[in-house]
Amino acid sequence: MSYSHFKDKEAIEHVVEAHASGKINAAEIHGTEAPGYLSAALDSARDSTIFVSLLTFFSYSLENFSFAPLITAGLAWIFWKGGRSTWLAWARLEKIHRVLEQEKWEIEHNRPQEKEELKVLYAAKGFEGKLLDDVVDVLMADGDRLLKVMIEEELGLRLESHEHPILQGLGAFLGATFATIFTLLGFYYFDFYGAFIFCLGIIFLSTFLTAKIENNRIIPAITWNLGIAAIVLSTIYFLTQQFFSL
């Protein structure tokens, strides 16, 4: 048997390795449970409220304080978060297309090895004997169906789960907008204490929703996120108080 396609590995080893690689490719920054646009929105809200809160602390320490620069910086940040999320989604989509093209090439040029991989995959599912041979023969007879099976079964990718990059960017844009507006409102009405409280409130809400949707433990998630945010904000507050005499 030739092992050039498997890189000197048995077929079962190649399938396991490819499946692990596919899982890595499928992994999102925000996780795989929540819809991409929702994860982007909630994560963007957390980042944005921290960013705007830090701006308020620095701005409040200036002698000639003006609210206008905060609004300008907030708008710039909103567009940055939306644009960056869209670009990252596009880059990820291009990577998936490359994986598809590579797998298509392998199907066209290494059909015997692909057939052996199919046998390993479906034998692991409990197929055996003539039934296993029939299933493999049916799949091998249709190139499009074979490509879909190999992408989903071998690499662990679910093509229908990937959203359009603009939709994910829109989620990040809306999350940043919500967090920026409410953090600035807290600062406008209650000075930097309001920004601090509104910031922690937004982080609490977004972390709660993320943990709830992804079926993660809610209390540890909230505790960690609020704890990190409190350390960051407190550090900046006391440093600005030290250097700028707030």
* Residue whose entry in the numeric block shows the structure tokens 């099976």: 149
CB 44 within 8 Å of CB 176: yes
- Between CA 88 and CA 54 the distance in angstroms is 25
- Rounded mean pLDDT of 145-150? 71
- 95 vs 55, residue with greater confidence: 55
Q: Is the pLDDT of residue 83 over 80?
A: yes
Where b means 16+ CB within 10 Å and e means fewer, 170-191 reads bbbbbbbbbbbbbbbebbeeee
Q: Is the pLDDT of residue 14 over 80?
A: no
Confidence band (pLDDT; 50, 70, 90) for 175? very high
- Between CA 222 and CA 206 the distance in angstroms is 9
- 72 vs 149, residue with greater confidence: 72
What's the pLDDT at 197? Answer: 92
- Between CA 186 and CA 53 the distance in angstroms is 10
Q: Is the pLDDT of residue 188 over 80?
A: yes
Backbone angles phi, psi at 2, to 5 degrees: -85, 135
DSSP string, 12-32: HHHHHHHHHHHHHHH--TT-S
Q: Is the pLDDT of residue 187 over 80?
A: yes
What's the pLDDT at 163? Answer: 74
Q: Is the pLDDT of residue 66 over 60?
A: yes
Tokens of 46: 């957390």
CB 151 within 8 Å of CB 100: yes
Task: Render pLDDT for 91-107 as a digit per residue (tens, 0 to 9).
Answer: 888 877 787 777 677 76
What's the pLDDT at 202? Answer: 96
What's the pLDDT at 108? Answer: 67
First-to-final CA distance of the chain: 75
What's the pLDDT at 158? Answer: 60
The helix/strand/coil state of 194 is: helix
Confidence band (pLDDT; 50, 70, 90) for 15? very low
Percent of the chain predicted with pLDDT > 90: 34
> Alpha carbon of 180 to those of 56, 75, 85: distances in Å?
11, 8, 17
Q: Is the pLDDT of residue 1 over 50?
A: no
- Between CA 60 and CA 240 the distance in angstroms is 9
DSSP string, 71-111: HHHHHHHHHHHHHHHHHHHHHHHHHHHHHHHHHHHHHHH-H
Task: Render pLDDT for 21-48 as a digit per residue (tens, 0 to 9).
Answer: 444 444 444 444 567 889 899 999 999 9
Q: 129: exposed, middle or buried (C-beta count within 10 Å: 0-12, 13-18, 19+)?
A: exposed
What's the pLDDT at 12? Answer: 45
Nearest-10 Cα torsion for 182, 187, 188, 190: 110
Q: Is the pLDDT of residue 79 over 90?
A: yes
CB 222 within 8 Å of CB 39: no
What's the pLDDT at 87? Answer: 92
